[in-house]
Structure 1
Amino acid sequence: MGSPEQAPDPGLFGPDSVTWQMHADPMMWIAGVRALYLQALHPRAVRGVLQNSDFRRDAWGRLMRTASFVGTTTYGTTEAAERAGARVRKIHSRLGATDPDTGERYGVDEPALLLWVHCAEIDSYLHVARSSGFRLTDAQADRYIAEHRTSARLVGLDPDRVPGSRRELAAYFESVRPELAAGPEARVVDDFLRRPPTPALLVPARALLWRHVAHLAYDALPPYAHTLYGRPAPAPAVVTRRLRATGTALRLVPAWLRWQLPPKHVLRAVARLGPETRPAPYKTGSRLAILDGPGEGAAS
């Protein structure tokens, strides 16, 4: 008799999670740009980025590497996700930055800095998704935040010290706000995102497409971020209307077409686990994605 066939590995989150459904949404790209704007407001964190890379020449690469990490940890196998986390931890352990005012040398893997980057990303993903029309109840939003204690662990954080609900996330941002500032490094990031270097043939596309993405991502920031950057933004209701219009337009593009873009994380996951695991916004309203509340693991 042969051994029973082993069930496919759903990965760290799996099709029963809110993360599985939400991270396939096209608005995650705008959310990623919002996260960059927000992360740049922590002087120690953004200094670690700029002192260890040429941001203006590698910003696209950085954005794509972040997208690949999120795709792998969301839709890859457990082994692939753990391997991606180990790679990030190894890179961070080798990097440091220097405070130009005090001369202090510090590691970019300080827990406080990793926590800021993590929370800025999760807040951006959740805010942009919900504001653009991706339907999540408050309980589902809490569930999403709790799920990402797992991704926090992958980059080296203690999951028990990471916000696990909207209330805890809001309290964290309130506590860290005195440390935020739009210093010289943040201005470099802001300048790049507003006017990224572009080959001459692509300048019209930058004017038509990227300007809309960058402006919308900036406008979606919290009001205190607009104050720090010193540029106003439309009223929140106006921003929400624009996010919803953009989300509606992008979701009209067939998912199978969007998911053809490399590295095809979603398509590979569906091929591994079966067509019934295909991510879709409506599934967040089903039994599969909703558990009793924020907690551990997936529905049984």
Structure 2
Amino acid sequence: MTKNKPRIQPHEDYGFFSEDSPTRKVWGYATTPLIGIQRAVVIEELDPHLLAAVHNTGDNYARLPTRYARTVQYFATVAFGDSRTITKMADVLVKIHSKAIGVEPVSGNHYDANDPDSQLWILITGWHSVLKAYELYGPGKLTEAEENQYWAECAIAAELQTCDPAAVPRSRDEVRAYFEAWRPKVAASEAAQQMMDHLLDGANHVLVDATGFVRVMRPIMNWSLRKGTIASMPHYQRQLGGIEQSPVTDLLIRPYLWSLFTVVDRVGPVKRYVVRQVAPGLLSVVEPHWQGIDPLNPEVLTPAEARERDGFTTPSEAHLGLRARHAQRVFGDKQAPSDEGLVESQSALGRLA
């Protein structure tokens, strides 16, 4: 170890997934922070209620680098962090979402970011997108047994949100059926199409302050990740989003990105450099896994065991008081919701700006 290289601190325990779990195998690959998460946040905007919650804050336009880094860090912590850190982060996140309430402008109905259906949509879209990127631009498909275990582990992650773990699909066919069932509910307004286009140019916005080599390469990175993300999306989602791309581009982008991600994932310094640009706080979470550093207590817990140990309630209960205060401010007093959940989040997910 060199004098200037920081010592990697071991985690307290394995968290909720074993070291050799399919979740860690997939989420630890280089495709995850660069294209898997980008695909997820683009497709998520097809939920009108989620779009309203995100659009009304303006954060995806005003501070996308921070928002993206915090999103990547949360998902990575669920996969690789220790149980105490994950449980605290989940409690904070549900409080952040409690302020995202209001009126969806198309239907006129109230929306709530902690609504179980919306939370399940976010969860499944995220886990499916990361797996899809791994399959297309990484090592390829998991075995059937691995894939079924992957979705069983997704149901464990569901315990950290307000959705019902029993509603999580458990196989490729069930995942396909889940998205088919959602097709009548997805929609793309002008605001949604604008947001999807903005997020597809994620590299340009997330790396807006980059210097040196990254600044020079940013347009190429943006083009590559944009084309690769679109190529992984079903055609009906592209049509809703007003997104066009030729079949030839779909065909050619796959071997190009497969080669690129193979190099990035295998060359440790390159992978760490790229991750540091996208989400600086991610390295301390994932490095113990990459380096094979055992936790202080080599045990895997359940979310329920961790909550009981640390005195947390379930996510579906944790935000109720805060949501009621936000609802009074928004629907009763006609004011903006308070930022108390966001302020609290900075200790777990980093500064807001």
Distance 2:271 2:251 in 1: 31
Q: Which residue of 2 aligns with 1:14?
A: 18
Residue 245 (structure 1) shift: 2.5
Instruction: Say if 2:265 is the partner of 1:251.
Output: yes
Distance 1:165 1:90 in 2: 31
32-41 vs 98-107, which moves further: 98-107
8 Å Cα contact 2:224-2:257 kept in structure 1: no
User: Residues 232, 102 of structure 1: CA spacing in aligned structure 2 closer, same or farther, 3 A cutoff?
Assistant: closer
1:30-64 per-position Cα deviation (integer Å, ceiling 9, x unaligned): 11111111111122111111113431112222211
Instruction: Say if 2:193 is the partner of 1:181.
Output: no
Distance 2:270 2:96 in 1: 34
Distance 1:146 1:20 in 2: 13
Residue 173 (structure 1) shift: 0.3
Q: Given the two structures, how large is their TM-score scaled by the length of structure 1?
A: 0.80
Residue 12 (structure 1) shift: 0.7
Q: Which residue of 2 aligns with 1:271?
A: 293
Percent identity over paired residues: 26
Q: Which residue of 1 aligns with 2:351?
A: none
Paired residue type of 2:221: L
Paired residue type of 1:185: A
1:183-242 per-position Cα deviation (integer Å, ceiling 9, x unaligned): 123223223235545459776433222221122112211221122223333435444334
Q: Which residue of 1 aligns with 2:173?
A: 167
Residue 255 (structure 1) shift: 6.4
66-75 vs 95-104, which moves further: 95-104
8 Å Cα contact 2:29-2:138 kept in structure 1: no
Distance 1:207 1:81 in 2: 35
Q: Which residue of 1 aligns with 2:123?
A: 118
SS of aligned partner of 1:179: coil
Residue 134 (structure 1) shift: 1.8
Distance 1:227 1:103 in 2: 24
SS of aligned partner of 2:63: helix
8 Å Cα contact 2:43-2:125 kept in structure 1: yes
Paired residue type of 1:24: G
257-266 vs 138-147, which moves further: 257-266
Q: 1:73 aligns with which of 68, 78, 86?
A: 78
Q: Mapping of 1:44-59 within 5 angstroms?
A: 44-59=49-64
Distance 1:8 1:203 in 2: 37
User: Residues 237, 58 of structure 1: CA spacing in aligned structure 2 closer, same or farther, 3 A cutoff?
Assistant: same
Q: Which residue of 2 aligns with 1:210?
A: 222
1:146-195 per-position Cα deviation (integer Å, ceiling 9, x unaligned): 21111111012111112122111111100001111221232232232355
Distance 2:26 2:47 in 1: 27
Across the aligned residues of Structure 1 and Structure 2, the Cα RMSD in angstroms comes to 2.7
SS of aligned partner of 2:102: strand
Consecutive unaligned residues in structure 2, runs of 5 or more: 1-10, 299-353
Q: Which residue of 2 aligns with 1:95?
A: 100
Paired residue type of 2:134: A
Paired residue type of 1:15: E
